[in-house]
Amino acid sequence: MLIGELAERAGTSTRALRYYETHGLLSAARSANGYRVYDDADLRVVREIRTLLGIGFGLDDIRPFVDCLRAGHSSGDVCPDSVAVLRRKIAEVDAGIERMRQVRERLHGQLTVAIESRESTCSSRTC
């Protein structure tokens, strides 16, 4: 499997795959041409990468999962480093949710006040 086919099968671009390689997430054998040659294990790796990127992980966070997959485990989640990243990410997401909830409350309060004072402030003006 060459890089174009892998990209198509994984639903991404060749540019992205080369980028993952330069960041140590993907390794490829080379044919006599110098072309990158991949197998189905690489396809699984790329799918894992894409999934985690979609969730919001950065490439550095993804590396443990890929290492875990390449260590022969059927899932990238099982190795201790992956679990640690999962825990950290859950904490980050929780913090993000809490922050956004507070922002939402604040916005809703501003909106309410703005709507209430719109008649008395705004409608008698040009704006």
Partner DNA sequence: CCTTGCCTTGACATCGGGGGAAAGGTTTAG
Partner DNA sequence: CTAAACCTTTCCCCCGATGTCAAGGCAAGG
At its nearest, how many Å lie between Zn ion and the CB of residue 65?
A: 11
The Cα 70–Cα 32 span in angstroms is 24
Q: Are 68 and 81 in contact (CB under 8 A)?
A: yes
CA distances from 126 to 72, 119, 121, 122, 123 (A): 70, 13, 11, 8, 8
Question: Which class for 68: exposed (0-12), middle (13-18), buried (19 or more C-beta within 10 A)?
Answer: buried
- State the residues that interact with a copy of itself by CB under 8 A: 55-56, 68, 71-75, 77-80, 82-83, 86-87, 89-90, 93-94, 96-97, 100-101, 103-104, 106-108, 110-111, 113-115, 117-118, 121-122, 125, 127
Instruction: Tell the smallest beta-carbon distance from residue 77 to Zn ion (Å).
Output: 9
Query: Which partner in DNA, Zn ion, a copy of itself, none is near 14 (CB below 5 to 8 A by kind)?
Result: DNA
Q: Does residue 114 belong to the site contacting Zn ion (CB under 5 A)?
A: no
Binding site for Zn ion (CB under 5 A): 79, 122, 127
